[in-house]
Amino acid sequence: MKPTGLVEEWEVWQYAARLSEVTIVERVRVLNQLALESECNLLTIRALDIVRWYASHSGDWGDSTHATYHSYLSVFFKWLQLQEHRLDNPLLKVGSPKAPERVARPIADAAMLTILKSNMHHRTRVMILLAGLGGLRCSEIARFKGEHIDLERGRFLVAGKHKTVKYVPLHPILATTAETMPARGYWFPSNSSRPGQCVRGKSVSDMVATAIRRSGVEATAHQLRHWYGTTLLEDGADIRVVQELLRHASLISTQIYTKATDVRMHAAIRTLDPYRAVA
């Protein structure tokens, strides 16, 4: 079977397993990138070929990206063995890169203000507000519809990861913004290449990142979500409440935001008094 056919078969298998489109598209992209850049057949590619491919991107991949892409390859080569397309698994000789400790990287309050004050398309501004005041991921923003807004109850619906659906409270600014957007259908419909569908999450990420960069701030779209979670904690919200608002399945995921609460750490340091015994 040709490499292209292999990847297509794997793509179909993933859809049959009801994985999210975002996950499938990204996995397929990485596999095609490996085949193209290594100039190797995925049925015969060696561990050395994969290591050399990793090394060719050492300057533009962070540790997290490297670990993520390795996990994609791991799933793929295990699938090849399961389908009896290949007897060996070259990744067993490569070893697994250690994923870095996850930490929240919220933008500063002043940076958020700078972004919101800058000029940009209204559509992009709405995306930024959904991320910063709703805590939405880029893929969730892409799928947002007018029907998701429930002004009467002051809430909105989020179609999240793993096909989860959850209502969360609606920020007053988002409620006002909703009046400027379609009451029905996707807020961010795709162009003519995907009629009737929404834009992709990657497109949302790129549009927001471009607007942020033009404002003079160095940050990613996902850091707006980090600002949302961290600011809630710093302002005194209970961590279980923040877990629900961020829609984390595990409290462990929410705890990464507690590591970034500089306000609390500075406040704790200021309580240290070396002369308290005198008092």
| Active site members | 137, 161, 222, 225, 248, 257
- Contact assessment for residue 177 and residue 129, using Cβ atoms and an 8 Å cutoff: yes
User: Does residue 248 contact residue 146 with C-beta atoms inside 8 Å?
Assistant: no
Whether the CB-CB separation of 257 and 229 falls below 8 Å is answered with: yes
CA 176 to each of CA 170, 187, 211: distance values in angstroms, whole numbers, following the listed order: 10, 15, 21
Tell which residue, 219, 236, 1, has the closest CA to residue 118. Answer: 219
Cβ atoms 122, 180 nearer than 8 A: yes
SS3 251: helix
Kindly state the tokens that stand for 89.
């698994």
What's the order of all strands across the beta sheet hosting 155-159?
149-150, 155-159, 165-169
CB atoms within 10 A of CB 201: 21
Q: Are 37 and 29 contacting, i.e. CB atoms less than 8 angstroms apart?
A: no
155 three-class SS: strand
